[in-house]
Amino acid sequence: MATTLASANISLSPSAAAQINQIMKAQGAEYLRVSVVGGGCSGFSYKFDLVNQADADDLRIEKDGATVLVDPMSVDFLNDSVIDYVDELIGASFQIRNPNATAACGCGTSFSI
């Protein structure tokens, strides 16, 4: 893998940016942090946190006033992904369309590479 921050390609959909802006305003937070952690039914899980401070080595993804932070270790797992927000009959949620994932669980928050 070994994606550098400079070569990382992670993007936000317009609907994700709009929802992030609403959440940040309501919660009084500055950023949404997206990370990958070990665990979950498929091996890795996506984690979403509201934070007020960025780390110096974070990748910043900005769109329409929304900022998402990704730590350097998670960049490899998320490279070429799109962070989206969908509102469907079964519910509304952030979803990560990750072409690196070879399998995912039904809930959409756990994946394997």
Q: What is the pLDDT along the chain (113 residues), one digit of tens a residue?
A: 555 566 679 999 999 999 999 999 999 999 999 998 887 665 788 899 999 999 999 999 999 999 999 999 999 889 999 999 998 777 788 889 888 776 555 545 544 44
d(C-alpha 11, C-alpha 50), whole Å: 18
Query: C-alpha distances in angstroms, 58 versus 31, 39, 62?
Result: 11, 22, 12
Q: Is the pTM of this model over 0.85?
A: no
Asked if residue 4 is part of any domain, the answer here is: no
For the chain, what is the domain count?
1
Q: What is the DSSP letter of 107?
A: T
What CATH code is carried by the domain that includes residue 72?
2.60.300.12
What is the domain extent for residue 103?
11-107
CB contact at 8 A, 92 and 85: yes
Q: What does each C-alpha distance from 25 to 3, 32, 73, 112 come to in angstroms?
A: 32, 12, 28, 33
